[in-house]
Amino acid sequence: MQHNDNRSFAPRERLDGEIAVITGGTGAIGLATARRIAALGARVVLLQRSAPETAAPALAQLAGNGHRALQASVTDSAALRAAAQTVEQEMGAATVLVHSAGFTRPVPAADLDGLSDALIDEIFATNWRGSFAAIRAFAPQMKATGDSVVVNVSSIAAFTGLGSNLAYAAAKAGTDALTRALAKTLAPQVRCLAVSPGVVDTAFVPGRDAAFNERVGPTIPLQRVGTADDVAAAIVACCTSLRYATGSVLIADGGRHLG
C-alpha cells in the first residue's frame, strides 16, 4: 500500500489495507496486539520460532481474513530476511512492525554470579539484537511505502533498573536507545516508538504466578497488574492516535514506575 502522497501523519481510526508484522506474534502481548490490529482492518503476519501450523489457534482468533504465520526466530537474521521477502512478495509491503518477541529469566540483582555470560548473551541476542535485526530486515520495504511505523515492546526496567534481571533491564534500555536513534534515521518514512509495560499478567517471567500478581497489584497506583490487552491497546494507539509521535517511549504500567 503506497502512502507517499498522503503523509500528513494525521490520526486515524482504522488500519484498512495495512500489513502488520508482529514478532513473538503468538505470545500474550503479540496475540492481543494482533487481535486489535486485525479488528481495525489490517492483515496480520505472526512471526514465531515454531512451525507455522502451530499458530492455527492464534490465527483463528483474528477478525477478517488474509492473515498468516511465518517461522522466523528473531535471533536468526537470515530467517528474518527471508520472512521479509515472503511478506513483500506474497502480501505486499509491511507498514506496521511490532516487536514483541522477548526472553528473560529471573535473577536477583544482587546475585552477580547468577547472571552467567551465557544468559547475558541470550538475553541480548533475543531482546536487543532481535529487535534490531527485525527492523533491519523490514526497513527497506517499510521505507518504500512512505508511511510506516515500528513499535518496540520495551519495559520500565529500562529506566528503573528493577526487573527480572540486570541484563534484561540493560537490553531494554538499549531498546529505548534504538527506538530514538532509528526514529531519526528512518524518518519521515518510518516512525519508531516504544511501549513500556510494568508487571503484566502473562507467563513471560517464569515464577510470577497469581499469588505474585495479588501481592503486587495493590502496590501499583492503579491497583492492579497490567494485562496483555493493556499493552496491546497502547501499541495500537501508536499506530492510530499517536501518529505525530516518533522517538517516544510510552509508559503503560499503571503507575508502577512511580515507586
- Residues involved in catalysis: 168
Phi-psi category of 181—alpha, beta or left, where left has phi over 0 and alpha has psi -120 to 50? alpha
- Alpha carbon distance 235, 40 (integer Å): 13
CA distances from 60 to 22, 74, 196, 253 (A): 16, 24, 28, 29
- Alpha carbon distance 209, 147 (integer Å): 40
How is residue 65 annotated by DSSP?
S
* DSSP code string of 169-194: HHHHHHHHHHHHHHHHHSTTTEEEEE
- Alpha carbon distance 223, 211 (integer Å): 15
How is residue 100 annotated by DSSP?
-
Task: Convert 105-124 to b/e letters by CB count within 10 Å (16 or more is b).
Answer: bebeeeeeeebeeebbebbb
How is residue 17 annotated by DSSP?
T
Please state the separation of Cα 171 from the chain's center in Å. 14
Is the bond leading into 197 cis (omega within 30 degrees of zero)?
no
The number of C-alpha atoms within 13 Å of 66 and in the hemisphere containing its C-beta is 18
